[in-house]
Amino acid sequence: MSVAGGTPAPAVERPRSRRKFLVAAAVLGVGLVAGVVGLLSGSRGQSPPEKPGDTARVEPTNPPVSVPPGTPTPVAPPTGPPIRVGILHSRTGTMAISERPVIDAALLAVDEVNEAGGVLGRPVEAVVEDGESDAATFAARAEKLIAKDRVSVVFGCWTSASRKTALPVFERHDHLLFYPVQYEGLEQSPNVVYTGAAPNQQIIPAVRWCVTALKKKRLFLVGSDYIFPRTANAIIRDQAAELGAEVVGEEYVPLGGGDVAEVVRKIATARCDAILNTINGDSNVAFLRALRAAGLTPDRVPTISFSISEEELASLGAKTVVGDYAAWNYFQSVDRPQNHAFVRRFQARHGPQRTISDPMEAAYFGVHMWARAVREAGTDAPGRVRDAVRRQSYDAPGGVVRIDPETQHTSKVFRVGLITSDDSRFRVIHESPGPVAPIPYPNTRSKAQWDKFLQDLHDGWGGRWEPPGVR
């Protein structure tokens, strides 16, 4: 399906709650309850990979969300004109393995908002666009969502290259992006609400835990070659120096690249005792399998990953990486009633085989926090909503989260997960005593020094946030 001019039409999620009430009324009128129930039963697994550019499809109707005990009785469906929201993630390309599931979590939250009556008496309608794992495409699709589709907010981006490339679009329109992924920090835009972790909520405490709890002092850093891993590793170097640890190697692979043999060879000869991994996307599959083939097992040289979640493990096969670690703020195995209910609702829709990652949880609660802010502001205007969201907190699946009004980052619990061979994938073996307040700029350098670090990378890549030639 295309619109005039050959531009692919976006996938549009029609508000399901209103549709469900209308269907139910028709069923009662004609006595076809059993038939409709049969149509709505079952569950949907993850859809097959799409071809690049294949954003022009309407999302299939999902079965009803299972409601946990104690949930209020459904209210009357919203009847006003829809409020459109954008969901901008990669359905294709190297990042699709990570980003496609985030779309599912955001859509679940949109449905829950509608089932609770929508916002301001209006249903929420999601317009889904494919960033195609390409930073320039993210910027172009953000422009389309804002200028053409007239969305009130965008939930999206994964890589920092995609976020930073799209950010000028949001700033030019004075619009609002909810960004759900842990990142390198060194940013504080009034047009972004950061629901993922800042460096002091993931990178820094993970290094400290590695050195103090695991007693590892010789660290090898490996990452994808773009802004996040380069900056994360600068932060790691600073932290390692403070802790008396040594970085014995630092290597990068192209984003989406699968040739990791030389990197693994260098790790094997470096005599490191831990690997800190900031590779993103499906390159992780090739890298971790190559480590095992080289005899670099967790009992000898454990890997702590910053961007491997439950979804990536499903592709790897957990047995390949049993004994390695991941640092996040949320794991599916978090033992809270709110999380158990969240997992049940998600799997009731997508099947028990589906897993939930940290960015999925952050995208999910981001939609709910936005909806609360709209209700408080009495409007969906981005500027007014931005003011209201700074006062929001939410009892999310992973714990209570709160938006810091000064930085628009989110207070979150830090956790370390051990990869296990059981169905839960990760077992939480360490967590902070409570939510950690966000600090976007690590104090090992001044803001001016960090800004210069970023600018030097940007200039060295020819005005990009990743090396030239990356697609």
Taking residues 99-125, report their average pLDDT: 97
Integer Cα distance of 289 and 261 in angstroms: 11
Range with the poorest average pLDDT among 36-45, 130-139, 179-188, 306-315: 36-45
What's the confidence (pLDDT) of residue 54?
Answer: 42
Q: Which residue has the higher pLDDT, 46 or 154?
A: 154
3-state SS, 158-185, equals CCHHHHHHHHHHHHHCCCCEEECCCCCC
Span 324-354, pLDDT tens digits: 999 999 999 999 999 999 999 999 999 999 9
320: pLDDT confidence band, cut at 50, 70 and 90?
A: confident
Predicted pLDDT of residue 41: 35
pLDDT band at 47 (very low <50, low <70, confident <90, very high): very low
Provide the 3-class DSSP secondary structure of residue 86: strand
Nearest in space to 201 (alpha carbons), one of 413, 39, 358, 37: 413
Query: Residue 239 is inside which H or E element, if any?
Result: helix 227-243
Task: Supply the DSSP string of 292-357, one letter for each residue.
Answer: HHTT--TTTS-EEESS--HHHHHHH-HHHHTT-EEEES--TT---HHHHHHHHHHHHHH-TT----
pLDDT for 373 equals: 98
Q: Taking residues 132-155, report their average pLDDT.
A: 98
| Residue 301 near residue 272, CB atoms below 8 Å | yes
Interval 403-412 mean pLDDT: 98
Q: Could you tell me which residues come within 8 angstroms of residue 294 by beta carbon, excluding any fewer than 6 positions away?
A: 264, 265, 267, 268
pLDDT at residue 76, rounded to an integer: 78
Residue 271 neighbours by CB under 8 Å, 6+ apart: 218, 248
Least confident range from 70-84, 165-179, 255-269, 327-341: namely: 70-84
**What is the tens place of the pLDDT at every residue in 241-259?**
999 999 999 999 998 888 8
Torsion sign (Cα): 17, 22, 23, 24:
positive
Q: What is the DSSP string of 392-436?
A: -EEEETTEEEEE-TTT-BEEB--EEEEE-SSTT-EEEEEE-SSPB
Provide the pLDDT for residue 257: 84
Percent of all residues in the chain with a pLDDT value above 90, rounded to a whole number: 75
Tell me, what's the pLDDT at 313?
80
Position 471 confidence tier, pLDDT thresholds 50, 70, 90: low
Looking at residue 155, what is its pLDDT?
A: 98
62-99 b/e (C-beta count within 10 Å ≥ 16 → b): bebbebeeeeeeeeebbeeebbbbbbbbbbbbbbbbbb
pLDDT at 310: 85
Q: Which residue has the tokens 């619009």?
A: 175
Mean pLDDT over all residues of the chain? 86
d(CA 98, CA 89): 9
Per-residue pLDDT of 257-298, as tens digits, reads 888 999 999 999 999 999 999 999 888 889 999 999 999 999
Q: For the segment 218-232, what is each residue's pLDDT rounded down to a tens digit?
A: 999 999 999 999 999
Cα separation of 2 and 225, whole Å? 35
49 pLDDT more than 50: no
| DSSP letter assigned to residue 129 | E
pTM above 0.95, yes or no: no
Long-range contacts (CB closer than 8 Å, 24 or more residues apart) made by 449-458: 450/186, 451/186, 453/186, 453/231, 453/234, 454/186, 454/227, 454/231, 457/227, 457/230, 457/231, 458/227
Sheet holding 426-431, edge to edge: 246-253, 218-224, 274-278, 303-305, 325-328, 415-419, 426-431
CA distance 257 to 284: 9
> Comparing 11-25, 254-268, 389-403, 411-425, which segment has the lowest mean pLDDT?
11-25
